[in-house]
Chain A
Amino acid sequence: MFLEIKDLSVKIENKNILNGLNLNINKGEVHAIMGPNGCGKSTLANVLAGKEDYEILNGKINFKDNDLFDLNIEERAQEGMFLAFQYPVEIPGVNITPFLHSAINSKRKRMNEEEIDNLSFAKLLKSKASDLGINIDMLKRSVNTGFSGGEKKRYEILQMSILNPDLAILDETDSGLDIDALKIVTDGVNKLKTKDNSFLIITHYQKLLDYIKPDYVHVMVNGSIVKSGGSEIADEIEKDGFQKFQ
């Protein structure tokens, strides 16, 4: 199993958010999690990425034969996990290009691969940015600083395509995107999809799933998966909302 979440319960500030959640993702699969506001979707994404604000009450997560809780935030990233943030953080003064260069090399180092030099990296970045319709001038700016909502999400996908993760978690990547930006972003995701990597897509709406076809759709309510199935579940939610699952 690529990612195995077993009976996961998590709380933050005395509030239980995840309650006995189970989820299995195999290599090459695309899974979507849908659920109403506050059901714990983003908490799941943050716990997987290693955010330290949460208290793990129970459960286990295995990722590529590692106990995920044995890995800190950067080790998870270096092992191939990537979180596309719902609200990417603005970091003034940290330039995109050296930051991404350093990120990719930290991963290569852990994998005992040769570090990528400046010139090769610049070429790679330019080509990936061009695929995503990102202006080269944007790469001279600070991370997410002064970006529009759409630019931030596009930049998240650029990072994902550079880091080429084994498991990408997209936390409401569709929020705040107009239809054109949504298409560019989802095209970027589809280009990355191979039989060797997996995606966990968190969303409120079925719209995103028109562009990225999931193999499995899960409904999350009150911190647990209450229903799993194929893309027909997304259609059901689109039609009737989440009410009937609560």
Chain B
Amino acid sequence: MNIQDNYQKNRKNIFFSENKDIETHREKLINIFENDRFDKKNNESLKNINLKNFIDFNYKYLIPEETSVINNTHENSYSIVSVNGQCSTFKDDKIEITKILDEDYNDFSKNNTIEKNDHFVNLNSLFLNSGFKIVIKRNNKIKIKISNIVTDDDLTIFQKNNIICQEGSSLSLIEEYENKNNSTSNILNVIKLEKHSQLNHFLIQDNSSNHNLIITSHSSCKKDSTYTQKVYNFSEGYVRNFHYSELIETNSEADLQGIFFLKDNNTSNNKTFVKHLAEDCKSNQVYKGILNDRAKATYFSNTHVDQVAQKTEGYQLSKGILLSDSASYFSKPELKIYADDVKCSHGSTIGPIDENAIFYLRSRGMSKIAATKILISSFINEELSSIDNEQMSEIIQKKLVRYLSKVK
């Protein structure tokens, strides 16, 4: 079924389909799909992926029978279970959770300039069927854990979340994606950090092989704010992590880190993009991958420094270990600098595990398998030891042990 027919058939279940402006915007998106020649060479959202599988899909969405749960587990600590992308409303003096509104759609989807060629973002806008908005109120320090549950097979979740950290607030957000059903989740997170705010965003991805997860996030940082994102992908199914960050006011920071652990025939596509639009801002993009069997991955990192963004510091690093001759990892770092007083760097190293290091460890009595595992752990040691959230650290260690147990 083509996109137009698919949309028309399911229109009544899709958010904001009665809004005339939004419908006009969606018609434009449909035209893009119908007329696009899908330029795989120049469009990073199309690399290493069979887009046809994601465009010719059977739309299915179930409104969850049980409403999602929001618990205030401890003071300043909340636990949310999002079911099929839906979350019930909640309000106290520190946070507010509401449904997304037409204006939230317009705020990002219509004004989106960075991702206009990203077909997955366009699909998300077109078939939007779930999502919520979280506001952290001024000067509050909050912890939130969100478990994202998909209830049934064959569901197509198109979810859009807005997260707003008001001035002086601080949020530690853990998102878990651990689904075992044959479904596809296409999620767009739009994150806004007001002045002096901070967001530490952890994403743990551990889906089964029949579950596709497509996450796109866009963060914008105002003066003295910091957005930190750490992604840990242990999924056996396809995962796409694309993260865009705009540093729009001075002294703001974006720190985007990711580690993926792939095996079998799995594929993961990753991208980080940081746009420096003001002076004295810092960014850091570090992605590391461990690939076994016939796994494939891509990582595109981009730093764009606008001409007004003097005193920028922007660093990129990509590293990969290939545990098998059939695994592949394509990495492309890119810097575009239009200011003249900046410190920027990029680096990329991908290769098999260091045989000399293996020999050294074995020559001290360690078995080959133990040496391999210790070297894999050491490869990501810096990132793992920098996790300052004990709960997160434990979760990641357990998943790492599970991944390593399959390394032969």
| Interface, chain A (partner B; CB < 8 A) | 49-52, 72-74, 76-78, 82-83, 85, 88-89, 91-94, 99-100, 102-104, 106-107, 110, 142-143, 159, 163
The docked-state distance in angstroms from the alpha carbon of A49 to that of B362 is 9
**Distance of A74 Cα from B370 Cα, bound (Å):** 11
Task: Report the separation of the CA atoms of residues A107 and B367 in the bound assembly, to the nearest whole angstrom.
Answer: 11
From the candidates B360, B367, B370, B378, name the one contacting A142 in the complex (CB within 8 A): B378
CB under 8 Å from chain A, chain B span 258-312: none
Cβ-defined contact, A103 with B379, below 8 A? no
- For residues 332 through 391 of chain B, which have their beta carbon under 8 Å from a beta carbon of chain A? 354, 356-357, 359-368, 370, 374-375, 377-382
> Number of residue pairs across A and B with beta carbons under 8 Å?
73
Contact B378 A73 (CB under 8 A): no
Q: Which residues of A are found within 8 Å of B375, using beta-carbon distances? A: 91, 94
Q: Contact at A85–B360, with CB atoms within 8 Å? A: yes
Specify which chain B residues have a CB less than 8 angstroms from the CB of A107 in the assembled complex: 365
Select from chain A the residue with minimum beta-carbon distance to B362.
Answer: A73
* Set of chain A residues within 8 Å of B370, measured between Cβ atoms: 102, 106
Query: By CB atoms of chain A within 10 A, which of B357, B362, B380 has the most?
Result: B362
Given A89-B356, A89-B357, A94-B378 contact (CB < 8 Å): yes
Write the chain A residue with the least CB distance to B359.
A51
Question: Can you list the 10 inter-chain pairs with the closest CB atoms, starting with the nearest?
Answer: A93-B378, A93-B381, A73-B362, A77-B365, A106-B365, A103-B364, A89-B360, A94-B378, A74-B362, A103-B365
Cα distance A100–B262 in the bound complex, in angstroms: 30
CB neighbours (8 Å) of B354 from chain A are 89
- Closest residue to B374 on the A side, CB-wise? A94
Q: Among the listed A93, A104, A110, A163, which residue makes an inter-chain contact with B382, where contact means beta carbons less than 8 Å apart?
A: A93
Contact of A77 among B356, B357, B362 (CB under 8 A): B362
The residues of A that contact B382 with a CB separation of less than 8 Å are 93
In whole angstroms, how far apart are the Cα atoms of A92 and B375 in the complex? Answer: 9
In angstroms, how far is the closest chain B Cβ from the Cβ of A156? 10
Besides A74-B367, A91-B360, 15 other A-B contacts (C-beta < 8 A): A73-B359, A77-B362, A77-B364, A77-B365, A85-B360, A89-B359, A93-B380, A93-B381, A93-B382, A99-B361, A99-B364, A103-B365, A106-B367, A107-B365, A143-B360
Closest to B370 in A: A102
- Are the CB atoms of A106 and B366 closer together than 8 Å? yes
Query: For chain B residues 112-148, which have a beta carbon within 8 Å of chain A?
Result: none
Interface-central residue, B364, B374, B380, by most chain A CB under 10 Å: B364
Known: A99-B374, A102-B370, A142-B378. A88 touches B360 (CB 8 A): yes
Q: Give complex CA distance A78, B366 in Å.
A: 9
5 CB < 8 A contacts A-B: A73-B368, A74-B367, A103-B364, A104-B365, A106-B370
A115 shortest CB reach to chain B, Å: 12
> Which of A50, A51, A103 touches B366 (beta carbons < 8 Å)?
A103
Complex Cα gap A85–B363 (Å): 10
B360: A residues at CB distance < 8 A: 85, 88-89, 91, 143
| Residues in B whose Cβ lies below 8 Å from that of A49 | 359, 363
Verify B363–A92 contact, CB threshold 8 A: no
From A51, A76, A91, A93, B361 is in contact (CB under 8 Å) with A91
Which residues of chain A are near B380, meaning CB under 8 Å? 93
In the assembled complex, the Cα of A52 lies from the Cα of B364 at a distance in Å of 15
Report B-chain residues with C-beta under 8 Å of the C-beta of A88: 360
Residues from chain A with a CB closer than 8 A to the CB of B366 are 74, 102-103, 106
Contacts A74-B366, A78-B365, A103-B364; A91 near B381 (Cβ below 8 A): no
Q: CA of A137 to CA of B72 in the docked complex: distance in angstroms?
A: 44
* Cα(A88)–Cα(B359), bound, Å: 11
Query: Cβ of A74 and Cβ of B365 under 8 Å apart?
Result: yes
B380: nearest chain-A partner, CB-CB = A93
Chain A CB within 10 Å, residue with most, of B365, B375, B382: B365
Closest to A51 in B: B359
